[in-house]
Amino acid sequence: MVQIPEKTRQYYIPKLGEVKNLSIRNVDVPTAKPLEVLVKVHAVSLNYRDLLIARNQYAAGSRDGVIPCSDMAGEVVAIGEDVKKWQVGDRVTSNFTLDHIAGDITPAVQKTALGGLLDGVLSEYKVFPEHSLLRIPEYMSYQEASTLPCAAVTAWNALHGPVPLKGGDYVLVQGTGGVSVFALQIAAASGATVIATSSSDDKLLVAKQLGAKHTINYVETPDWDKEVLKITNGEGVHHIIEVGGPGTIDKSLNCIRMGGYIHVIGFLGGMGTPPDQAPLPMKVLFKSAVVRGILIGSRTQFEDMNRLFEAHQIKPVVDNVFPFDEATTAYKRLESQKHLGKIVVQVSKD
């Protein structure tokens, strides 16, 4: 019999605007309704989105008082009377968007994304709908599994979406943040040739160890797009994991191959020229390129990704693990952009 306390600690942001506003409080442990599952959260991983939400800079919206973060791994400690799929003791994670089961996302489903308008997971206990949960790969720790819902599924959706990458394809990943590192690992495991960029030679060495065949320091080589073309004999790459946004999209279009895919994930390189002033459409036209925005992925895609991870025993790259009481410090590590891979908050012991 699992002992469930009456009270739980959770973080919330009383007033959006600054990371320092992140606060902790004690509340009642929620009770699972008939089709819900109560999870004891063991680990939570952070995403750049969490930083934007805390700063009140997230375009999709949030609200004062929100419980932050979307990615967790934990243990089932209680189930609703009509739950069939899960049992007490199961190790689980949840989908980023609770109701995105399969297929394309819709505006209604998008509203069920955790940690934005809907309360997130930076809490010792959390109730989830039965359908939103997935089993953790057996070989992964809670810390490792907590990194999967946003960054890993986003990378999977990019590379194994409408036109999956093939063995021998060239894939360019920008930087060594969460999505880029997972994309590197997925592409390498799928037989693609990976080119990785970073401003740090130390991080590029790790990228090599993870499977990148070519690396480019974009500080030493500002015209990294020309170097990509050189590596690909002037043809360009099949897929680009575009995390720089307007700050890098121009160079990405220079080195995408004809008919290639640019998967737009974020805008770490800055907002750049306003969209209505940029000559982007003509560049897309003349490259016959597909520029595709990625909004994480479905539970079905998550399950498909886990099969590849299990087959190749892919281990998520965890940069740092912070105690629950030091979540604000974890945010500051994310803010520094010095991390490689994922930043994790240890909520309770594995």
206-239, pLDDT tens digit by residue? 999 999 999 999 999 999 999 999 999 999 999 9
Give the rounded distance of the alpha carbon of 209 from its chain centre: 21
Q: Would the pLDDT of 80 be above 70?
A: yes
* Contact call for residues 176 and 196 (beta carbons, < 8 A): yes
DSSP notation for 269-303? T---S-GGG--HHHHHHHHT-EEEE-----HHHHH
Kindly report which listed range (121-135, 161-175, 183-197, 255-269) carries the lowest average pLDDT score: 255-269
Q: Would the pLDDT of 349 be above 90?
A: no
Q: Would the pLDDT of 272 be above 70?
A: no
| Stated pTM of the model | 0.92
DSSP strands (E only) in the chain: 7-12, 23-28, 36-45, 71-79, 91-94, 125-129, 133-135, 170-174, 193-198, 214-217, 237-242, 256-264, 290-293, 318-323, 342-346
Residues 6+ apart with CB under 8 A from 323: 345, 346
Domains and CATH numbers, the chain: 7-135+317-346 (3.90.180.10), 155-293 (3.40.50.720)
Strand 256-264 relative to strand 290-293, pairing: parallel
DSSP notation for 169-206? -EEEEESSSHHHHHHHHHHHHTTPEEEEEES-HHHHHH
pLDDT at 169: 97
pLDDT at 276: 46
pLDDT at 267: 52
Specify whether the backbone of 86 is left (phi greater than 0), alpha (psi in -120 to 50) or beta. beta
